[in-house]
Structure 1
Amino acid sequence: MFSAQPGRPVPGPYRSLFADRTFRRLMPVFALSDLGDGMSVVAVAWLALTLGPDGGQGSLVGVAVAAYVLPGALGALLLGRWTRHLPAQRLLVADSAVRAVLLGAVPVAHVAGVLTPAVYVGLLGASSLLHAWGKAGKHALFVPLLPADQRVAANSVLSTSLWGATTAGPALAGLLVGVVSPVWIIGLDAMTFAVLAVQVGRTTLRDSATPRPRPATGTKSGLSILWHRPELLGLLLVTWVFNFAFGPVEVALPLFVSGDLDAGAGLLGVYWAAFGIGAVTGALALGAARRLPLWPAMLGIIAGHGVGMLPFAFTHTAVPSLIGFAFAGLVYGPYSALSFTLIQDRAPADSLTTVLAARGAVLLTASPIGAALGGFLLDRTSAPSILVGCGALMIAVVPVSAVVLKRSADRPRPHRPAHGPAEHARRTA
């Protein structure tokens, strides 16, 4: 709810959230590391272009970008035996420290004259091996510390930071690449992770007043927990298809701008900036809506995102599709916060990081597969057809998802501790 008091324009959930000393202390370093990762989106690919052999730069760019992301899925699946029992704080510190050291080794290897393509890809791949666990720890860190009615606001702030970095990071890196080598931008990213590791490591987390459940499910893998909880499994499947449907957009949009609109990279940047600004606005707005019903809101987001893609059918001017893409970003912004909140509410508290890491590993495959399919289809149809088709697929996901929700709601859930009337009403809304 919003404060009605004069001079207090900040929404109540955010005001009470930042009154928490731990959240207020850690959020700036989360935002800093998000910005570093946003800059590396450009720097990783640009450095690969400079390192690749003549005629093979494109292949090295693809390998480098994949190495910076995909090993996290492998680490989530293979390292669970050793990491699933670790506290969220320790997982986040371990991931941040590994990324700080290995990404920091990139400029060191450059100065030493040993930064070959193989060394570069190896350092990127190794740096991402724990990243699914680190991201899981980041979202699980505050669960025992914050009241349940503040989780949506906390997840909204984390999502806003990520979307803000997605918008500002590449733009900042684009400016810096004109002044310094991308090697040093990756070094800056490493420094942000070093700051994150130090700050999280030295933060003392107070014990939650809520009794912790006995570790009955701690020995189960995240995938096993997801498989035996229909609502969480349904959420994973719906989100995977949603991300898969968005994958072709990243491939088709540049061709839509250059081919159908006969424009340059500047307009492409405007499209992504509009999407990012819309996403930041949507994520921030969500934090004020404590009582927003989670499943209906997420299904509405998917449908709204699909509707936002339909104006790409108009190719005579950029205005309709630009407005539609900004709207798609606006409705998409809250999705991550809502889905994380649903998982935090439904997953066993002692296995939350394991569930989040398994979820991240599965979802990492969705967008690349969608992008590959989009590239295949572009040889056989037009970019506007693919973009509109992505929107149509998103809209079609909604009735199927409603059936999944109905089926999962009909099944009994594991017993959970009782909550107050207000919290019960929010959960069952």
Structure 2
Amino acid sequence: MTLPPPTRLLPRTYQSLFAHAGFRRLLPALVASDVGDGMSVVAVAWLAVLIAPAGQSGLVVGAAVAAYALPGAVGALVFGRWLRRLPAQRLLAVDGWLRASLLGCVPLAWAMGALNPVVYVVLLAGSSVLHAWGSAGKYSLLAQMLPPDQRLSANALVSASTSASVVIGPALAGFLATAIRPAWIIGIDALSFAVLAVQVGRLGRAAEGVATAGPVDTGRSAAGLQLLRRQPELFGVLALTWFFNFLYGPVEVALPLHVTDDLHSGAGLLGLYWTLFGVGAVVGGLAAGALRKLPLWPVTLGIVAGWGVMLMPFGLGAPVGVSLFCFALGGVIYGPFTALSYTLFQDRTPTAWLTTVLAARGAALLTASPVGTALGGPLVAAMGPRQVLAASGAATLALAAVGIAVRLWGKARADSGLDREAGRH
């Protein structure tokens, strides 16, 4: 019996993409780098635990996790003057080689006995400084490689790869951590970016001479922020999203230390936590379409409150099975938030201003989670990982309560204004 080609098993929308030789070469490399980054969700924090001096694991984990993300936000804002002139293909390759080189130094330094917290944080920070630009180059390159009617399908496949890596990467890292040290897992991540850079170089001149759309358009961002100051509801959506992402940041630091210090377990359990969260987030993200039929503000505030509730059992010393279930359910709750917050912006923004406002949104939110992550280290050192997880949940619940109060106050003001207007007539 003759089996159909693998692409014949895909929906027809996606089959035509694989007729493009460049896309066929690029997609597996993008998937590999996504999985590598997913593995590093576990490996970066776990290696920080191993190399931290006694009593300083919280600070080192916080610095390492922040170094893997925060410089990308800085690079997006600082290097636009020079990098936006580069073709998308070259920019994606440069980011790939930078990450491959500096992440590849981590296992080498480990093998030589030279990996201390300072060297580790510097290597992670250097590897991530162009990553926002690499992401922008990736989507710009897809737009340049493919005809307009195939771009949505390509973006969907690439985005699905990123979502799936949150599920596959941590699980794979947890499995590998039983056999090899996390430094070598980061080395695998480095190898995945080297593969991506090589494949991008093999695409030929698909995008030569075409400038890259940067991750942040600073001109539009400034104009968008000016508009937001005159739109209280849109500013409220932005503030809610910023603080929600900010309060999520310490979780990435506290969770690995909760596994080691409170549960006295290993990287396999940490990988399981993140895998279950990723599965839940994928399920929740797919459910966002159904939630679109409900009132968006109440649902969005409910998501914020629900995520806070799911973190509270950590502070109560719940059994591992209970906390795993809560983290998975937290992923389901957390998953639709981004899509729904974008929808609120789309619904409340005049069409002519939408791109400008979204640019301002992107610029403002670049810092939220990395800043929260950077603060996670000192908080864990001062309070302990279990208490930080609970405090993040309590603060998120307080954020939801503030959001509800502000929303009700705004509606009351609007209703009283309408009543006064009606009285004049």
Residues in 2 aligned to 1:382 and 1:106: alpha-carbon distance in whole angstroms:
31
Aligned residues: 383
Who is 1:30 aligned against?
Answer: 30
Residues in 1 aligned to 2:111 and 2:317: alpha-carbon distance in whole angstroms:
48
- Whether the aligned pair in 2 keeps the contact of 1:106 and 1:123 (CA below 8 Å) is yes
The verdict on how the C-alpha distance between 1:297 and 1:188 changes in structure 2, with shifts beyond 3 A counting, is: farther
1:125 equivalent to 2:125? Answer yes
Gaps of 5+ in 2: 1-7, 412-425
Question: What's the secondary structure of 1:124's corresponding residue?
Answer: helix
Range with greater deviation from structure 2 (65-74 or 333-342)? 333-342
Range with greater deviation from structure 2 (351-360 or 242-251)? 351-360
Structure 1 residue 67, shift from structure 2 partner? 2.5
Alpha-carbon deviations, 1:240-263, whole Å to 9, x = none? 111123234456667988999x89
Who is 1:105 aligned against?
Answer: 105
Who is 2:44 aligned against?
Answer: 44
- Whether the aligned pair in 1 keeps the contact of 2:99 and 2:190 (CA below 8 Å) is yes
Range with greater deviation from structure 2 (106-115 or 239-248)? 106-115
- Whether the aligned pair in 2 keeps the contact of 1:136 and 1:354 (CA below 8 Å) is no
Structure 1 residue 172, shift from structure 2 partner? 2.1
Range with greater deviation from structure 2 (109-118 or 170-179)? 109-118
Question: What's the secondary structure of 2:367's corresponding residue?
Answer: helix
Structure 1 residue 192, shift from structure 2 partner? 0.8
Residues in 2 aligned to 1:235 and 1:347: alpha-carbon distance in whole angstroms:
19
Structure 1 residue 219, shift from structure 2 partner? 8.0
Counterpart selection for 2:222 from 220, 224, 227 = 224
Q: Cα RMSD over matched residues?
A: 5.2
Who is 1:135 aligned against?
Answer: 135
Residues in 1 aligned to 2:408 and 2:27: alpha-carbon distance in whole angstroms:
38
Counterpart selection for 2:372 from 355, 367, 370 = 367
Question: What's the secondary structure of 1:178's corresponding residue?
Answer: coil
- Whether the aligned pair in 1 keeps the contact of 2:174 and 2:270 (CA below 8 Å) is no
The verdict on how the C-alpha distance between 1:116 and 1:136 changes in structure 2, with shifts beyond 3 A counting, is: same
The verdict on how the C-alpha distance between 1:56 and 1:284 changes in structure 2, with shifts beyond 3 A counting, is: same
1:81 equivalent to 2:81? Answer yes
Gaps of 5+ in 1: 1-7, 407-429
Alpha-carbon deviations, 1:338-394, whole Å to 9, x = none? 667999997999999987973563234443266368648947x96685355244245
Alpha-carbon deviations, 1:151-179, whole Å to 9, x = none? 5x766654543343233323322332333
Letter in 1 for 2:196: L
Q: TM-score under structure 1 normalisation? A: 0.66
Residues in 2 aligned to 1:89 and 1:233: alpha-carbon distance in whole angstroms:
36
- Whether the aligned pair in 1 keeps the contact of 2:61 and 2:253 (CA below 8 Å) is no
- Whether the aligned pair in 1 keeps the contact of 2:72 and 2:130 (CA below 8 Å) is yes
1:65 equivalent to 2:65? Answer yes
Residues in 2 aligned to 1:57 and 1:384: alpha-carbon distance in whole angstroms:
16
- Whether the aligned pair in 2 keeps the contact of 1:18 and 1:24 (CA below 8 Å) is no
Who is 1:188 aligned against?
Answer: 188
1:3-402 matches, cutoff 5 A: 15-17=12-14, 19-21=16-18, 26-52=26-52, 59-109=59-109, 115=115, 117-142=117-142, 151=152, 157-203=157-203, 220-221=218-219, 223-230=221-228, 236-250=238-252, 270-284=272-286, 289=289, 300-301=299-300, 303-310=302-309, 312=312, 323-336=325-338, 358-359=363-364, 361-368=366-373, 371=376, 375=380, 378=383, 386=391, 388-393=393-398, 395-396=400-401, 399=404
- Whether the aligned pair in 2 keeps the contact of 1:72 and 1:132 (CA below 8 Å) is yes
Letter in 1 for 2:334: Y
- Whether the aligned pair in 2 keeps the contact of 1:69 and 1:128 (CA below 8 Å) is yes
- Whether the aligned pair in 2 keeps the contact of 1:253 and 1:383 (CA below 8 Å) is no
Residues in 1 aligned to 2:54 and 2:389: alpha-carbon distance in whole angstroms:
33
Residues in 1 aligned to 2:97 and 2:156: alpha-carbon distance in whole angstroms:
25
Residues in 1 aligned to 2:389 and 2:337: alpha-carbon distance in whole angstroms:
25
- Whether the aligned pair in 1 keeps the contact of 2:37 and 2:169 (CA below 8 Å) is yes
Question: What's the secondary structure of 2:179's corresponding residue?
Answer: coil
Q: TM-score under structure 2 normalisation? A: 0.66
Residues in 2 aligned to 1:95 and 1:222: alpha-carbon distance in whole angstroms:
25
The verdict on how the C-alpha distance between 1:372 and 1:234 changes in structure 2, with shifts beyond 3 A counting, is: farther
Residues in 1 aligned to 2:291 and 2:204: alpha-carbon distance in whole angstroms:
32
Aligned sequence identity (%):
43
Residues in 1 aligned to 2:205 and 2:359: alpha-carbon distance in whole angstroms:
20
- Whether the aligned pair in 2 keeps the contact of 1:34 and 1:162 (CA below 8 Å) is yes
Residues in 2 aligned to 1:348 and 1:222: alpha-carbon distance in whole angstroms:
10
Structure 1 residue 278, shift from structure 2 partner? 0.8
Residues in 2 aligned to 1:329 and 1:394: alpha-carbon distance in whole angstroms:
18
Alpha-carbon deviations, 1:291-344, whole Å to 9, x = none? 985996587355235225426468766777655543331232244466679999
Residues in 1 aligned to 2:116 and 2:187: alpha-carbon distance in whole angstroms:
17
- Whether the aligned pair in 1 keeps the contact of 2:277 and 2:330 (CA below 8 Å) is yes
Letter in 2 for 1:224: A
Letter in 2 for 1:392: L
Question: What's the secondary structure of 1:180's corresponding residue?
Answer: coil
Residues in 2 aligned to 1:373 and 1:103: alpha-carbon distance in whole angstroms:
25
- Whether the aligned pair in 1 keeps the contact of 2:301 and 2:400 (CA below 8 Å) is yes
Who is 1:424 aligned against?
Answer: none
Structure 1 residue 117, shift from structure 2 partner? 4.9
Range with greater deviation from structure 2 (57-66 or 345-354)? 345-354
- Whether the aligned pair in 2 keeps the contact of 1:140 and 1:353 (CA below 8 Å) is no
Who is 1:4 aligned against?
Answer: none
